[in-house]
Structure 1
Amino acid sequence: MNFPLQFTFKILAFAPQLSVTDARGKELAYVQQKLFKLKEAVTVYANSDKQQIDYEIKADRIIDISTRFNFRSADGTKVGSVKRRGMRSLWRATYEVYDAADAISFTISEANPWTKMIDSVLGNVPVLGFLTGYFLHPSYNVIQNDRTVARMTKQPAFFEGRFMVERHETLSEQEEQSILLGLMMLVLMERERG
């Protein structure tokens, strides 16, 4: 993958839509989340044409605070999973990304919980809500063996959510895919939290 990656989702869309592009502008993934599902299931397409399915992400239970989302490739092979750290995530969003053998590969942790809290509070104020996306920028660190290997930061944008993912360490293609899928679910889940 050519980093930095751009995650873009439409704020005003009825059904959440997330698009991922690389540094060259090539679309790497596209998700249009289904509404009104008790048990979350997300289909990850190769692009917005929705002709080729790359991954399926399915919750292991009805949505609760520590649901595990399993990643499967188009042929049904388990690729890994991501799980929110239950009660610990109420203040600082923390997710664990697992490999296919269910060993923790990465931890994704919110860098500064105050930024997200202020962003969500001010985001509900009528005029200020449009401006918060332009000056408050929550960020998330992807950590492996106590080293930050990547970072996702919210970017200034009106009427859409935009995040940039920068890689700080060399990673294998499989690790990059795990990070991509984990960050996609984080964006979709944290969007619901505010």
Structure 2
Amino acid sequence: MQQYTFNKYFAKKSFLKIFGGEIRIFDENKSKLLFFVKQKAFKLKEDITVYSDETKTKELLKIKARSVIDFSAIYDVVDMTSNENIGSLRRKGFKSILKDSWEILDTKEQVVGSIDEDSMLKAILRRFLTNLIPQQFLITLNQKPVGVLQQTFNPFVPQFKIDFSSDVTNALDRRMGIAIVILLQIIEGRQQ
């Protein structure tokens, strides 16, 4: 699919949506909408559908929590066009109190990678003093860097520049990469 062929993306979460948030993921120039998420409000168990555009006629991905309100939740990622399970993302609950940390699981539930916030000091400052320090996440697979998510400086609208171009072997399935971006904006964005 053409949406998954880019190395760089730009993600923007809508500001102050009372009845559910919206996330739009564009190409790096912000000229073409590639993915759209309309999050339902007041859900105890996350069930996120990723669409190709705002008409919500074509489902691309489903990101579904396995349980209701779990500190170390696991989210399964499914390609809706083929009904293929791509893998899972597991939040490292206790470790994420001070610094956001996730694990990337393959379809056999084996840990194959991680998503980690940039530094402990910056993470603590963000949580306890100010949200004016942009977040950065490093994505690794088999202990090799495959992507970076860099929050742009905007205290009102959560936005990320996404760069998968360091992934020279294309080891990271872009569908999983998009699911990572969306989960970080929805789950970790709640603490800001």
TM range (shorter): 0.7 to 0.9
Q: 1:152 maps to what in 2?
A: 149
Q: 2:119 maps to what in 1?
A: 112
Q: Which one-letter code corresponds to 2:27 in the other structure?
A: D
Q: After superposition, where does 1:1-194 map in structure 2 within 5 Å? A: 1-14=5-18, 15-24=20-29, 25-74=31-80, 75-123=82-130, 132=132, 136-157=133-154, 159-167=156-164, 168-172=166-170, 175-194=173-192
8 A Cα contact 1:70 1:81, kept in partner: yes
**TM-score normalized by the length of structure 1:** 0.85
Equivalent position SS for 1:62: coil
Q: CA deviation at 1:102?
A: 2.3
Q: Percent identity?
A: 21
Equivalent position SS for 1:61: coil
Gaps of 5+ in 1: 124-128
Equivalent position SS for 2:94: helix
Structure 1 residues 157, 122: closer, same or farther in 2, change over 3 A? same
Q: Which one-letter code corresponds to 2:22 in the other structure?
A: Q
C-alpha distance in 2 between matches for 1:105 and 1:180: 17
Q: CA deviation at 1:43?
A: 0.8
C-alpha distance in 2 between matches for 1:173 and 1:143: 10
8 A Cα contact 1:112 1:138, kept in partner: no
C-alpha distance in 2 between matches for 1:79 and 1:104: 13
Structure 1 residues 161, 63: closer, same or farther in 2, change over 3 A? same
Greater helix content: 1
Q: CA deviation at 1:172?
A: 3.4
C-alpha distance in 2 between matches for 1:118 and 1:56: 33
Runs of 4+ in 1 over 6 A off after TM superposition: none
C-alpha distance in 1 between matches for 2:42 and 2:120: 28
8 A Cα contact 2:28 2:161, kept in partner: no
Mean Cα deviation higher: 58-67 or 105-114: 105-114
C-alpha distance in 1 between matches for 2:120 and 2:14: 23
**TM-score normalized by the length of structure 2:** 0.86
C-alpha distance in 2 between matches for 1:107 and 1:51: 32
Structure 1 residues 169, 145: closer, same or farther in 2, change over 3 A? same
8 A Cα contact 1:97 1:182, kept in partner: no
8 A Cα contact 2:146 2:172, kept in partner: no
Equivalent position SS for 2:187: helix
C-alpha distance in 1 between matches for 2:37 and 2:62: 10
Q: CA deviation at 1:115?
A: 2.6
C-alpha distance in 1 between matches for 2:115 and 2:72: 14
Please give the per-residue CA displacement for 1:112-148, whole angstroms capped at 9, x wherever unaligned: 233344334455xxxxx7xx2xxx2110000122222
C-alpha distance in 2 between matches for 1:71 and 1:44: 10
C-alpha distance in 2 between matches for 1:145 and 1:110: 17
